[in-house]
């Protein structure tokens, strides 16, 4: 795992290019504390920070081919690189290292941009082909690894994190009002935009080629939700699922450093650990965390799994100094981000790093296997539309507008008045600032700036892009192309990299996802419960109570913290005058929801958490007052 950064100027590098690239590189030291590399030629400055995982003595980057004409900087792992290496060697390629980085170079020489076709792993890499005068940027299929870029005329600037690009003098810190509007809707900023107007996220499963004064962005892979569900019996599909999961986990055991796993006691992480234990690669090192607030401590469930599987279990009960942690997290995330599970994810990463350098996680089990309540609601709405017919369903939805939202099911009833694509999209904003809530929060000036904003556009587009007509398939396709990438993967990458830990997600292997996409919905949701086939597989490894207990997300007690440990920090940030002077938010509206939450009259935890993280981002990142100090603290 690493951090990459650099820039290519087709008019020739400016004076001081090496110093600029070094600054871009070293602000990413937390991503790669083991080694630093730099290459500069007439047109390209490529920089790299390394967290050594494979081929510790070699594999330094930037890395080049034999004649120095093709260079690469790479963040991630190609798990099947040994298999690809054998093919390339049979075609005449000669290797100098055991590194998967070198496989990328030889694969590019052999197959050009199609080199990515057979890669299985998590990756973001940039290839500078000096002979052809072209740059290739590639991001993995599920966006596990991040890649940002700025393209202006003849200059391309790129990096693993926004903070690296901001070290380049050509990249301006001009934030985007519509990105803030989207953040307040979802608690994250959907791709391809970033918080800054002049920086984009390379979308997952895409490559960007820049050559001859032109840039071409193209998608190289998509999930095969085609509606042609397999007709194999449940036992056959269950056996096949076990094979694919086992292969995916085994691939991710590649490491020359200590390796373990996160264990929450839930279905997904328990399944990953169970397969690791069955593969018999030594005793599995597992790490679990819980908060000292009892309702948010699930260590007993993880302990049952660990005891049953015989793992080397490390448990940590956290009494978080959250007021100190949040400013650091705001710096690490670089743009507003408010999924509160980033706090426990940070703490389990920090705890795991004491024992291992690589940890496997269970991320990805919910998004393709229908693990969220919104997936079951999607099925209900589709059945009602089909049963009533479109006109009657729309009429029922319009009637729902006259019923209070506090009544159970009213939100879903109202969704019947929307198109299915819009109804699916708006489920991703539930409990945050929805349309009317955001409008009430903005000052007149900021409301005018965001009047034409449509944060749901990408969600509706994903829904319509799914080739399957099935409502559940479409909802899962939306999740896999939006929330999974921009929330879950962002959260895991930033929190694990903050402590220099490599996190690997076997349930997101693209071969496993291609299998999941074709599994019938009846084997994902059954009797109102999601992840049916995954549950049946887990029953082969662990006791039934773990499999059948209710889902409990990886949550933090943010509502309680906002009334206790975070109250002084939040109060100061909201009401010291700087938020008001910025002119975006109506502080009177903020005061109202603050009072309602403090009194217990209403639960505004998610809304206040979003506002808190937004304000911390402004102070830590946008206004530049904390960036260099924070970088020095992290490096130390």
pLDDT per residue over 344-357, tens digit each? Answer: 999 999 999 999 99
**261 CB neighbour count, 10 Å cutoff:** 29
| 56 shares its domain with 184 | yes
Q: Give a yes or no: residue 457 inside a domain.
A: no
pLDDT reported for residue 410: 87
Q: Report pLDDT digits (tens) over 485-541.
A: 999 999 999 999 999 999 999 999 999 999 999 999 999 999 989 999 999 999 999
Residues spanned by the domain of 85: 2-219
For residue 291, what is the domain's CATH number?
3.40.50.620
In the set 2, 115, 424, 466, the catalytic residue is 2
- Dmax (CA) for the chain in angstroms is 72
Q: Give a yes or no: residue 574 inside a domain.
A: yes
| 531 shares its domain with 563 | no
For residue 103, what is the domain's CATH number?
3.60.20.10
Strands of 196-271 (E only): list them.
200-201, 206-211, 214-219, 259-262
| 117 shares its domain with 14 | yes
pLDDT reported for residue 300: 86
Q: Give a yes or no: residue 281 inside a domain.
A: yes
Euclidean distance between CA atoms 20 and 314, whole angstroms: 42
Q: Report pLDDT digits (tens) over 443-497.
A: 999 999 999 999 999 999 999 999 999 999 999 999 999 999 999 999 999 999 9
Strands of 304-385 (E only): list them.
312-318, 358-360
Q: Which of 444, 447, 476 is nearest to 463 (CA)?
A: 476
- Cβ–Cβ < 8 Å for 165, 171: yes
pLDDT reported for residue 294: 66
| 38 shares its domain with 180 | yes
Euclidean distance between CA atoms 566 and 568, whole angstroms: 6
pLDDT reported for residue 633: 59
Domain ends where: 482, 515, 548?
Answer: 548
Q: Is 467 exposed, middle or buried (0-12, 13-18, 19+ CB in 10 A)?
A: middle
**316 vs 283, 505, 546, CA distance in Å?**
19, 22, 20
Domain ends where: 509, 524, 548?
Answer: 548
Euclidean distance between CA atoms 45 and 213, whole angstroms: 18
SS3 content of the chain, % helix, strand, coil (to 5): 50, 15, 35
| 186 shares its domain with 284 | no
Q: Give a yes or no: residue 448 inside a domain.
A: no
| 205 shares its domain with 260 | no
| 539 shares its domain with 566 | no
Q: Give a yes or no: residue 94 inside a domain.
A: yes
Q: Give a yes or no: residue 476 inside a domain.
A: no
Q: Give a yes or no: residue 114 inside a domain.
A: yes
| 164 shares its domain with 276 | no
Which residue's entry shows tokens 């290459």? 39
Q: Which of 221, 476, 275 is nearest to 365 (CA)?
A: 476
In a 3-state reduction of DSSP, which class is residue 226? coil
**Alpha-helix residue ranges (DSSP H) falling in 1-78:** 17-26
Give the rounded percent of residues in the chain with a pLDDT score beyond 70. Answer: 95
Let me know if 2 is a catalytic residue.
Answer: yes
Q: Give a yes or no: residue 413 inside a domain.
A: no
**Dihedral angle computed from the Cα positions of residues 89, 95, 97 and 101, in that order, rounded to the nearest 10 degrees:** -80
Euclidean distance between CA atoms 636 and 634, whole angstroms: 5
| 56 shares its domain with 144 | yes
Q: Which of 54, 70, 38 is nearest to 1 (CA)?
A: 54
Euclidean distance between CA atoms 396 and 50, whole angstroms: 57
| 527 shares its domain with 573 | no
Residue 192, preceding bond cis, omega within 30 degrees?
yes
| 175 shares its domain with 302 | no
| 21 shares its domain with 128 | yes
- Total domains, the chain: 3
Euclidean distance between CA atoms 385 and 581, whole angstroms: 48
Strands 502-504, 358-360: pairing is parallel
Q: Which residues of the chain have pLDDT under 50?
A: none
């Amino acid at each position: 795992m690493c951090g990459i950064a650099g820039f290519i100027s087709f008019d020739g590098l400016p004076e001081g290019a090496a110093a600029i690239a070094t600054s871009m590189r070293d602000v990413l030291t937390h991503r790669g504390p083991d080694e630093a590399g730099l290459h500069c030629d007439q047109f390209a400055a490529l920089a790299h920070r390394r967290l050594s995982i494979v081929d510790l003595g070699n594999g330094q980057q930037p890395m080049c081919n034999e004649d120095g004409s093709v260079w690469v900087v790479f963040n991630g792992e190609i798990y099947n690189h040994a298999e690809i290496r054998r093919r390339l060697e049979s075609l005449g390629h000669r290797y100098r290292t055991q590194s998967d980085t070198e496989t990328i170079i030889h694969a590019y020489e052999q197959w050009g941009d199609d080199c990515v076709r057979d890669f299985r792993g998590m990756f973001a890499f940039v290839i500078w082909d000096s002979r052809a005068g072209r740059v290739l940027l590639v991001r993995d299929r599920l966006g596990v690894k991040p890649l940002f870029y700025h393209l202006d005329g003849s200059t391309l600037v790129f990096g693993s994190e926004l903070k690296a690009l901001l070290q380049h003098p050509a990249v301006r810190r001009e934030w985007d009002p519509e990105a803030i509007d989207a953040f307040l809707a979802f608690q994250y900023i959907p791709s391809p935009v970033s918080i800054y107007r002049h920086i984009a996220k390379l979308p997952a499963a895409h490559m960007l080629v820049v050559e001859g004064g032109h840039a071409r962005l193209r998608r190289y892979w998509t999930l095969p939700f085609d509606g042609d569900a397999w007709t194999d019996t449940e036992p056959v599909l269950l056996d096949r699922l076990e094979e694919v999961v086992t292969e995916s986990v085994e691939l991710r055991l590649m490491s020359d450093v200590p390796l373990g796993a996160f264990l929450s006691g839930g279905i997904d992480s328990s399944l990953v650990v169970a397969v690791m234990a069955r593969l018999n690669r030594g005793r599995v090192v597992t790490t679990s965390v819980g908060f000292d607030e009892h309702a948010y401590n699930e260590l007993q469930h993880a302990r049952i799994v660990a005891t049953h599987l015989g793992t080397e279990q490390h448990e940590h009960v956290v009494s978080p100094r959250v007021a100190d942690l949040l400013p650091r997290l705001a710096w690490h995330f670089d743009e507003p981000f408010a999924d509160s599970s980033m706090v426990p994810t940070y703490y389990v990463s920090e705890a795991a790093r004491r024992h291992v350098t690589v940890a496997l996680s269970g991320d990805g089990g919910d998004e393709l296997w229908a693990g969220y309540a919104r997936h079951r609601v999607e099925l209900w709405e589709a059945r009602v539309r089909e049963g009533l017919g479109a006109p009657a369903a729309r009429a029922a939805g319009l009637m729902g507008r006259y019923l209070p939202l506090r009544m159970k099911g009213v939100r879903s009833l109202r969704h019947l008045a929307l198109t299915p694509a819009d109804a699916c999209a708006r489920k991703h904003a539930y409990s945050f600032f929805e349309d009317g809530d955001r409008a009430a929060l903005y000052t007149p000036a900021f409301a005018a700036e965001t009047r034409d904003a449509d944060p749901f556009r990408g969600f509706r587009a994903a829904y319509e892009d799914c080739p399957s007509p099935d409502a559940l398939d479409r909802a899962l396709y939306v999740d896999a192309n939006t929330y999974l990438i921009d929330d879950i993967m962002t959260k895991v990458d930033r929190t694990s990299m903050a402590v220099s830990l490599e996190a690997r997600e076997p349930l997101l292997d693209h071969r496993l996802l291609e299998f999941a996409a074709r599994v019938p919905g009846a084997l994902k949701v059954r009797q109102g419960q999601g992840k049916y086939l995954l549950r049946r597989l887990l029953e082969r490894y662990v006791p039934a109570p773990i499999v059948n207990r209710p889902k409990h997300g990886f949550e933090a007690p943010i509502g309680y913290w906002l009334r206790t440990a975070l109250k002084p920090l939040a109060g100061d940030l909201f009401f010291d005058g700087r938020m008001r002077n910025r002119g975006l938010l109506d502080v009177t509206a903020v005061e109202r929801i603050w009072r309602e939450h403090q009194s217990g009259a209403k639960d505004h935890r998610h809304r206040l958490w979003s506002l808190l993280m937004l304000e911390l981002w402004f102070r830590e990142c946008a206004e530049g007052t904390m960036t260099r100090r924070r970088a020095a603290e992290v490096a130390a």
